[in-house]
Structure 1
Amino acid sequence: MSRIPSRRTVLRGLAVSGAAVIGFDPATRSWAATTSESGTTLAGIPQLDGTLVTDASSLAAAADDYGHIVHHRPLAVLRPGSVRDVVAMVRFCNEHCLPVAPRGQGHSPFGQAQVQGGLVIETATLAEIGPLGPDSTTVTVGAGAKWSDVAKATTAHGLTPPVFTDYLELSVGGTLSVGGLGGQAHRHGAQVDNVTELRVVTGAGQLVRCSPSRRPDLFHAVLAGLGQCGIIVEATLRLVRAPATVRHYHLTYDDLATFLDDQRILAQEGRFDCVEGQVHADADGAFRVYALDAVAYGPPVGPAPDDTALLSGLRHDPATVQYEDRPYYDFLNRLAPWVAAAKETGVWTYAHPWLNLMLPGTSAATVSARVLNALTPADLGPMGVILFYPLRRDRLTTPLLRTSDEAVSYLFDVLSAAPPDDTAAVDRLLASNRAAYEATAEAGGTHYPVGSIPFTPADWRTHFGPAWPALESAKRTYDPQGILVPGQGVF
């Protein structure tokens, strides 16, 4: 039974060419601005604190992302004024079998947060950061809060989340939906391993609080669950003491296996707080210059860094050692100049057919060498980046964050950029990504699902492996109509 929308709903509701949309026509699966547009009874729009829009520019923005490769156009975009709005619109979409996807900062590269003919929920308005004090052990934040803002709020009290992605301008809900990996993960696990509680809107439109002890099936299905069972609207994050300053070391290697082995040693020994690395092209255009980044936190987290002890036994070229001391937040936000340059030069608008693999430690050098030997600077594109992060299996405790079964794995990222109109280059890179994934899977690895690898539902079952039955059961329980996040292609 439809209801008559209130004047407040009409004024705050959808706008199409200046006319307020008053309802949804289930027969044509479209929004209607007047009752004369349809011969059927319209389904009334829920009363909202925020806005629901269908203007062309909003729909076009929601049909794009950082990848600029996939374009699925929704019917509408919700900018919620409250969690109640998310509940109301998910219930509405569940009733009418409309697909739904939350969107944080739109940084997905392959249409993961897009929906064809459905509703995109922009979470940026759900960005509140809860109260903090010097003795706080957790902080509760809205899903749309950016990690940069969380870091600023917590470091003001001498506290910090233990793990950050390199790029801070991502939403909390977005990274928790995929895992959230960074250079600190070898010590503290992923961001999902440092969540104590969630508030989630399920696919059935129920607002549920969950934790490891309260609705644990939902909690474990949502963290790194790609949005398949619920939309994160709030998360409580674990906090640790923040250093005032850090010492950032840059070490250079000329051998891939040695470089990776030193990363493994540092991950297992835990002598540094952050470990990652990059690969650069040499003068001949071959990718065989390996740079290891290792960061030691200073007081009050640890003692003043001892260079000799920290670098002891490593097999880098000693003549190339560089280090710098910098404030902790400046270190966290170290990509800011790169991002500014990418936006200024237009590289930000390029297509980004990214490759993100989880390589087993024992075969990481062999598998990655195949990719690197076939890669050219033109393939990587302007300002493209190649990254390695060592990961310890015993620190990754979230069931749906899949990696190899070995004690140490490596996150291997080839973050390419190509002109968006060069479809041949994009298609070629996507095919290369698929081939690299297949070689990784054959070696016992998988992928980190933030990139651009063509995947089928069968691939997803293989990806989740022993965790698949629990995810499939949670999907049936919490999203029985199957409306959530179809862009991932999991179900």
Structure 2
Amino acid sequence: MGIFLLLFIIISCFTRISANPSALSFYDKKVLRNDSDSIKKASNDYGNIVHEIPSAVLFPSSVKEISGLIRSSNERSPPFTVAARGRGHSVRGQAMARGGVVVDMTALSKTRRRITVSRKGTYADVGAEQLWIDVLRATLKRGLAPVSWTDYLYLSVGGTLSNAGISGQSFQRGPQINNVLELDVITGKGEFMTCSRERKPELFFAVLGGLGQFGIITRARIILQKAPTRVKWVRLIYSDFSIFSRDQEHLISSNSPNYVEGFLITDENITNDWRSSFSSPSRQSDIAALLKKQGILYSIELVKYYDNRTASTIDKDFETLLKELNYNPEFIFSADTSLFDFLHRVGDLDSPTAPLDSHPWLNLFIPKSRISDFNAGVLATLLPKLNESSPILIFYPLNRNKWDDRMSAVIPEEDVFYTLGVLHSSPPNAYQIYDEFNSQILGFCKRAGIKVKQYLPNYKSQGEWIQHFGSKWPTFRQRKATFDPKFILSPGQRIFNSA
């Protein structure tokens, strides 16, 4: 798109939103901007696939300014849409607002760092714009830490709580949304409300996993526990899927490990990049040789926390645990590290030197009862046909009883279900081939009657959303009518808006 055309679109869009100057007159140019840099950033996300141009970007210095913006929208006919943006790690434009206003939540952190640990250390009050990496650093200073994480820590608190927030701890501690005591929320009416399980519970349960549809989270009260000081970290290799999945299910049925995740190894490039701290180059070549013979390998990543009190028994405890498993005994890799280094293992993907790739990701929840069918139809059949560079493939089970069904997040209706993350990376002009691969996975599941649910969902019609939410749809729709009746919030999800 030429620069003059881009500027024309920006100016014309902003003219629409400010047709009634008094509606937004309390914002100065430092707070509400439509300069090309601000618009360009708000028109892109980590996925680098969808690009929607807003009319303006709000850089709030206070929560009141966000509330005022949404109230102004409610006074307009028609109202303009509003989308909250944290770190911008959506992959399909979910945090965009074509022709509306994007709220850059990170601006709130520039006034003050909003992380406060309670006197007794049982919780932390955290601004929704804060990154989990900063929450970790702040709480560790008190010898404390949240109990549930995502694999990547450079995400905003409000962003993960609007989805669910899962990682290898979730089988035991539940997703991040299950470890929240209280929220401050600005609804789609512009009302500021504090809510919890006891106080305004309908809003509380709606917002957690609610994809930004009912309100913008501005503060969350996060459960803390005493932080372990060290982590015993092991990776195991499997060549048989049924044994691999059976061992994972065994691990999440016990309280022995603190973290369980699985991975699929599909090409030698992955083995070469397979956490050098765990294996020497010679062992990587051995894995590559086994991979060439088998076609696909599986790994389990297993962690137990410990501290000075349990340091003398951690090795024996781990040895007992490993005796219960049926991994390939020739390939076991271990590390001993701090809790911070373990949780920070992915690092920061948003460095200025990071390549501007596209990320056509697909994340699924798969019912355990159909996991063998899924393996036969997708992992064993479709994956080998992906001739391009293989994606990162994360695959591990979760326990349904660690989720609160009153929340908006949707999961399969089985006691155990698997999560699959197909994390493609491609040049910006070549993502379509990976989209087609994702479509083949979804197409197979539909034909086979495997009732998968998308995590971080991406649908193009309300009919698909209705099917996604299933029995939760009437409640979801009613909550929208209650808290955002004019369909102002989060148009990029395309649930109630054709963004």
Whether the aligned pair in 2 keeps the contact of 1:126 and 1:143 (CA below 8 Å) is no
| Partner residue, 2:101 | 119
Cα distance in structure 2, aligned partners of 1:129 and 1:345: 28
User: What one-letter code is carried by the residue in structure 1 that aligns with 2:90?
Assistant: S
Q: In the alignment, which residue of structure 1 is the partner of 2:452?
A: 445
Alpha-carbon separation, structure 1, partners of 2:328 and 2:32: 57
Percent of pairs with identical residues: 35
Contact 1:94–1:481 (Cα < 8 Å) also in 2: yes
Aligned with 1:104 (options 80, 86, 91)? 86
- The separation in 2 between residues aligned to 1:335 and 1:313, in whole angstroms, is 29
Query: Is residue 358 of structure 1 aligned with residue 340 of structure 2?
Result: no
CA distance in structure 1 between the partners assigned to 2:388 and 2:182 by the alignment: 39
What displacement does 1:420 show? 0.8
Cα contact 1:430–1:454 (8 A) shared by 2? no
Taking CA–CA contacts closer than 8 Å with sequence separation of 6 or more, which of the two structures ends up with the larger relative contact order? 2
Q: Does 1:392 align with 2:377?
A: no
Distance apart, 1:423 and its partner CA: 5.2
> Superposed, which structure 2 residues align to 1:151-230 within 5 Å?
151-230=136-215
Tell me, in whole angstroms, the C-alpha distance in 2 between the residues paired with 1:367 and 1:427.
19
> What corresponds to 1:82 in structure 2?
62
Give how far 1:344 is off.
4.5
Contact 2:13 2:99 in 1 (8 A): no
- Once the 2 structures are TM-superposed, how far is the Cα of residue 178 of structure 1 from its aligned partner? 0.4
Give the 5 Å matches for 1:338-353.
Answer: 339=349, 344=353, 346=355, 349-353=356-360
Q: Distance in 2 between matches of 1:41 and 1:224?
A: 35
Cα pair distance change 1:302/1:361, threshold 3 Å:
farther
Are the structure 2 counterparts of residues 164 and 427 from structure 1 closer, same or farther at C-alpha, using a change threshold of 3 Å?
Answer: closer
Cα deviation digits, residues 182-228 of structure 1 (max 9, x gap): 10000010000000100000011000111111111111110000011
- State the match for 1:292 in structure 2: 300
Residue 43 of structure 1 aligns with which residue?
22
Any unmatched runs of 5+ in structure 1? 1-15, 32-39
Distance 2:404 2:254 in 1: 19
Counterpart CA distance in 2 for 1:437 and 1:468 is 21
SS where residue 330 of structure 2 aligns?
A: helix
Cα displacement (A) at 1:41: 5.5
In 1, Cα distance between the equivalents of 2:118 and 2:208? 26
Q: Give 1:464 deviation, angstroms.
A: 1.7
Distance of 1:93 and 1:285 partners within structure 2: 61
Residue type of the alignment partner of 1:108: S
Corresponding position of 1:482: 487
How far apart, CA to CA, are the structure 2 residues paired with 1:216 and 1:206?
A: 16
CA distance 1:210–1:325, change in 2 (3 Å): same
SS at match of 2:74: helix
**Quick check: 1:387–1:413 contact (8 Å CA) kept in 2?**
yes
Q: Which residue of 2 aligns with 1:58?
A: 38
Q: 1 CA distance for matches of 2:25 and 2:412?
A: 45
Task: Return closer, same or farther for 1:74/1:466 CA change in 2, 3 Å cut-off.
Answer: same
Quick check: 2:148–2:176 contact (8 Å CA) kept in 1? yes
Map of 1:301-316 to 2, 5 A cutoff?
304-305=313-314, 306-316=317-327
Letter in structure 2 aligned against 1:135: K
Take 2:352 and 2:241, find their aligned partners in 1: how far apart are those partners? 32
User: Cα–Cα, structure 1 residues 465 and 61, in superposed 2: closer, same or farther, change >3 Å?
Assistant: same
The residue aligned with 1:235 is 220
Change (3 A) 1:113 1:158: same
Measured after TM superposition, the shift of residue 130 of structure 1 is 3.3
**Segment drifting more, 179-188 vs 256-265:** 256-265
Contact in 1 for aligned 2:117/2:125 (Cα 8 Å): no
Contact persistence 1:350–1:417 (CA under 8 A):
yes
Matches within 5 A, 1:322-337: 322-336=333-347
- Is this contact kept in 2: 1:357–1:437, CA < 8 A? no
Cα–Cα, structure 1 residues 85 and 326, in superposed 2: closer, same or farther, change >3 Å? same
Query: Which amino acid is 1:110 matched to?
Result: R
Counterpart contact for 1:250–1:321, Cα < 8 Å: yes
Contact kept, 8 Å, 1:285 with 1:377, in 2: the verdict is no
Distance 1:439 1:125, change over 3 A: farther
Partner-residue secondary structure (3-state), 2:253: helix
Cα displacement string for residues 351-382 of structure 1 (whole angstroms, at most 9, x for unaligned residues): 11111110111212321442223125966637
Query: Tell me, what secondary structure is at the counterpart of 1:390?
Result: strand
Q: Is the 8 A contact 1:164 1:180 kept in 2?
A: yes
Q: Secondary structure at the match of 1:319?
A: coil
**Compared with structure 1, are the counterparts of its residues 161 and 381 closer, same or farther at alpha carbon in structure 2 (3 Å cutoff)?**
same
Give the TM-score of the pair, scaled to structure 1.
Answer: 0.86
Distance 1:302 1:388 in 2: 30
Query: Is contact 1:24-1:43 (8 Å) kept?
Result: no
Unaligned runs of 5+ in 2: 1-5, 268-290
Which stretch has the larger CA shift, 126-135 or 402-411?
A: 126-135
Distance between the aligned counterparts of 2:189 and 2:459, measured in 1?
29
Question: Counterpart of 1:144?
Answer: 129
Displacement of 1:302: 5.6
Q: 1:29 aligns with which of 5, 11, 16?
A: 16
Matched, 1:465 2:470: yes
1:447 partner letter: Q
Change (3 A) 1:461 1:385: same
Give the superposed CA RMSD: 2.6
8 Å contact from structure 1 (residues 285, 376) kept in 2: no
CA distance in 1, matches of 2:373, 2:262: 17
In the TM superposition, residue 94 of structure 1 has moved relative to its aligned partner by 2.3
Structure 1 residues 151-198: Cα deviation after superposition (integer angstroms, max 9, x where no partner): 011111111110110000000000000000010000010000000100
2-structure distance, mates of 1:151, 1:457: 38
The CA deviation at 1:473 is 1.0
> Counterparts of 1:143 and 1:285 in 2: how far apart (Å)?
48
Give the Cα separation in 2 of the matches to 1:369 and 1:326.
37
Deviates more, 1:366-375 or 1:478-487: 366-375
Please report the TM-score for the alignment, with normalisation by the length of structure 2.
0.85
SS state of the match for residue 29, structure 1? helix
